[in-house]
């Protein structure tokens, strides 16, 4: 009885702190609790917290802090993969079977032991749910029909996965660091699975806990997910059963804040400890203020806009090329993304194998007009762009709107939150979409596959890459991208990706603008606050307060 009472008291205390934080006006509550990290963060892109479905940048950060995977990216050296739940692994001589020995004695937050059966179930549910990130596993030949035999528990402490081709092992291991491979607590998920009526599209009789995990939790990471309220708040609470380095703080609260100026004010007033979406001017101001600090990390994230090839005007190759000459890259680089990004026009971010650092396009209205005339559109046309109403994309969209107008193209901006614009984009019902793509794992295939591969361009296509979302049908590029996965020689592999980037630069519906440098302003009271090389390496368990 005492245990229950203490637990209730703990929950009440943290709820009271949360209520104060959310309700207080800036001046009324001038210091965050000593045991709590509070971040101002725009996370309106979150649709679900189920790692088997989640495919958004903000969600990757939340799940990385609350779930564990077999292996993880080494944040200190992104060319390396290290064990997380796995203690060691071997690859069979034919290059097809990967066998993982698990660390003994690990537990989920629930107290249940972590076994190879939990790993196998996590892979099985991700493949059978067949949500957006499932292709990361199905590309290895896993399917609903064979996943139980291809990804299985050999014994309680051994998991094996058999792939369909002898891929470069670095590629396979890098894929296994992605969110979709997060290991869930089978017992908790099965208990919360909802029965469903099988259909031709979905032939299983339960939802594998998908509805429960939308806001629920069944992980083993340093923090537990306690609450998510869309566009309001996310609350993480320390997981005392975590097998690694224990979180320094009792909880982490992410407050949904979209405006840079609002985040800066809240940071200066002590309402938040970290401001995550600061624009260049606000970053400068925070850097100069006593008691504040800033940090930055280059991210494997590129910002781009893309032209849906279902729109007959946008499907003309000359039009796609004209758009690349209708972006004022220099002005964007000097103002909107100063300090938070660098101009980058190829799909592989700097730092990845084979990344090509070539920026051949400049604003050239005369050249663009020439191309539009060649396409039979000398008088221009009207088109829409779906824009998440956060910076810097809103500013970039408005800038592009002005330069397009110089060539007679009238751009109508359709603003929406992250969830709205992404949902429309994924349904292929946009004209132009502007946004960001973050690598799912640190192998060049993560970006190459999404920008250049489209195995089935029909609306029913299962592999919903960015090429598919924009109805860009490229069978030859698709074959070339798939072949690159079987090349074990790193130099030869890099050369293939360089060639793919050149082809996308010249003849794709993607206008890639810049690579992100993530920045944050934070209170100097924080110790060990860092940003990682990707959103799923933005770890908060190491952070403490002086």
Specify the CATH number for the domain of residue 379.
3.10.105.10
Residue 53 lies in a domain: no
CA distances from 521 to 41, 95, 494, 526 (A): 11, 46, 36, 11
Q: Are residues 207 and 346 in the same domain?
A: no
Q: State whether 322 and 441 are in the same domain.
A: yes
Identify whether residues 307 and 272 lie together within a single domain: no
The answer to whether residues 329 and 418 belong to one domain is yes
308, 431 Cβ separation under 8 angstroms: yes
pLDDT tens digit sequence for 36-94: 999 999 999 999 999 999 999 899 999 999 999 999 999 888 889 999 999 999 999 99
204 and 238 co-located in one domain: no
Asked if 234 and 43 touch (Cβ cutoff 8 Å), the reply is: yes
DSSP structure string for 247-306: PSSSEEEEEE---HHHHHHHHHTTS-SEE-S--HHHHHHHHTSTTEEEEEEEEEEEEEEE
* pLDDT tens series, the chain, 546 aa: 333 333 333 343 444 445 545 544 444 446 899 999 999 999 999 999 999 999 998 999 999 999 999 999 998 888 899 999 999 999 999 999 999 999 999 999 999 999 999 999 999 999 999 999 999 999 999 999 999 999 999 999 999 999 999 999 999 999 999 999 999 999 999 999 999 999 998 999 999 999 999 999 999 999 999 999 999 999 999 999 999 999 999 999 999 999 999 999 999 999 999 999 999 999 999 999 999 999 999 999 999 999 999 999 999 999 999 999 999 999 999 999 999 999 999 999 998 999 999 999 999 999 999 999 999 999 999 999 999 999 999 999 999 999 999 999 999 999 999 899 999 999 999 999 999 999 989 999 999 999 999 999 999 998 899 999 999 999 999 999 999 999 988 899 999 999 999 999 999 999 999 999 999 999 999 999 999 988 999 999 999 999
Whether 423 and 275 share a structural domain? no
Three-class SS of 331-370: HHHHCCCCCCEEECCCCCCCCCCCCCCCCCCCCCHHHHHH
Give me the residues paired with residue 294 across strands.
521
CB 540 within 8 A of CB 308: no
Domain boundary residue, one of 220, 248, 268? 220
Query: Do residues 395 and 344 share a domain?
Result: yes
Q: Is residue 57 part of a domain?
A: no
pLDDT of residue 12: 38
**The model's pTM:** 0.84
- Report yes or no on 58 lying in a domain: no
Residues 118, 161 share a domain: yes
The tokens describing 508, both together, are 């794709």
Count the residues in the chain.
546
Count CB atoms within 10 A of the CB of residue 316: 19
Of 194, 220, 246, the one marking the end of a domain is 220
CB 326 within 8 A of CB 409: yes
- The whole-angstrom separation of Cα 313 and Cα 210 is 40
Residues 200 and 96 in one domain: yes
Residue 431 shares a structural domain with residue 413: yes
Is residue 60 in a domain? no
CA 142, 134, 107 angle in degrees (round to 5)? 90
Residues 156 and 112 reside in one and the same domain: yes
What CATH number has the domain bearing residue 277?
3.40.190.10
Roughly what angle, to the nearest 10 degrees, separates helices 445-452 and 475-484? 170
* C-alpha distance from residue 507 to each of 245, 322, 383, 502, 510 (Å): 48, 11, 20, 9, 9
* CATH number for the domain that contains residue 136: 3.90.76.10
The predicted structure's pLDDT at residue 525: 96
Residue 182 lies in a domain: yes
- The number of CA neighbours under 13 Å toward the Cβ of 508 is 27
Same domain, 196 and 330: no
On whether residue 316 sits in a domain, the answer given is: yes
Inside any domain, residue 56: no
Residue 69 tokens read as 């995977």
Least Cα distance to 35 among 195, 199, 247, 226 occurs for 247
Domain count, the chain: 3
- The DSSP 8-state label assigned to residue 301 in this structure reads E
Residue 544's domain spans which residues? 1-46+221-291+524-546
- Let me know if residue 55 belongs to a domain: no
Among 220, 245, 260, the domain-final residue is: 220
* CA 515 from centroid of its chain's CA atoms: 14
């Amino acid at each position: 009885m005492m245990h229950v009472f203490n637990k209730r008291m703990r929950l009440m205390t943290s709820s009271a702190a949360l209520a104060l934080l959310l309700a207080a006006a800036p001046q009324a509550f001038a210091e965050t609790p000593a045991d709590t990290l509070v971040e101002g963060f725009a996370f309106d892109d979150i649709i679900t917290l189920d790692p088997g479905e989640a495919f958004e940048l903000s969600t990757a950060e939340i799940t990385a802090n609350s779930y564990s995977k077999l292996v993880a990216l080494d944040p200190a050296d992104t060319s390396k993969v290290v064990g997380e739940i796995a203690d060691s692994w071997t690859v069979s001589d034919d290059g097809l079977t990967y066998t993982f020995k698990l660390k003994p004695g690990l537990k989920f937050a629930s107290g249940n032991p972590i076994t190879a059966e939990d790993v196998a179930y996590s892979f099985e549910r991700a493949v059978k749910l067949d949500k957006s990130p499932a292709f990361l596993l199905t590309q290895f030949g896993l399917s609903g029909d064979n996943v139980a035999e291809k990804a299985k528990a050999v014994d309680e402490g051994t998991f094996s996965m058999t792939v369909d081709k002898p891929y470069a092992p670095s590629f396979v291991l890098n894929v296994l660091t992605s969110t979709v491979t997060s290991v869930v607590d089978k017992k908790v998920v099965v208990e919360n699975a909802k029965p469903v009526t099988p259909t031709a599209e979905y032939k299983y009789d339960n939802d594998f806990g998908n509805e429960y995990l939308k806001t629920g939790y069944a992980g083993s990471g340093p923090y537990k997910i306690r609450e998510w309220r869309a566009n309001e708040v996310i609350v993480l609470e320390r997981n005392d059963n975590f097998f690694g380095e224990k979180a320094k703080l009792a909880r982490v609260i992410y407050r949904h804040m979209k405006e840079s100026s609002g985040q800066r004010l809240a940071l200066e007033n002590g309402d938040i400890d970290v401001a995550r979406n600061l624009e260049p001017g606000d970053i400068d101001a925070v850097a100069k203020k006593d008691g504040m600090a800033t940090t930055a990390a280059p991210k494997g994230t590129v910002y781009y806009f893309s032209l849906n090839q279902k729109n007959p005007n946008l499907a003309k190759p000359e039009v796609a090329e004209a758009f690349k000459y209708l972006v004022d890259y220099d002005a964007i680089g000097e103002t909107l993304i100063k300090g938070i990004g660098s101009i980058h026009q190829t799909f592989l971010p700097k730092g990845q194998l084979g990344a090509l650092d070539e920026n051949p396009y400049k604003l050239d209205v005369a050249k663009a007009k020439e191309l539009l005339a060649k396409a039979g559109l000398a008088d221009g046309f009207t088109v829409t762009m779906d824009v998440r109403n956060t910076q810097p994309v809103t500013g970039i969209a408005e800038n592009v709107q002005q330069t397009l107008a110089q060539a007679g193209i009238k751009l109508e901006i359709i603003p929406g939150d992250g969830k709205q614009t992404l949902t429309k984009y994924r349904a292929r019902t946009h004209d132009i979409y502007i946004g960001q793509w973050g690598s799912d794992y640190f192998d060049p295939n993560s970006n190459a596959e999404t920008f250049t591969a489209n195995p089935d361009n029909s609306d029913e296509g299962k592999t919903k890459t960015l090429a598919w979302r924009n109805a860009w049908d490229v069978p030859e590029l698709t074959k070339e991208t798939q072949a690159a996965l079987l090349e074990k020689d790193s130099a030869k592999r890099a050369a293939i990706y360089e060639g793919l980037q050149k082809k996308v630069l010249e003849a794709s519906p993607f206008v890639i603008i810049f690579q992100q440098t993530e920045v944050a302003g934070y209170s100097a009271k924080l110790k060990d606050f860092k940003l990682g090389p990707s959103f799923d390496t933005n770890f908060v368990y190491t952070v403490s307060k002086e």
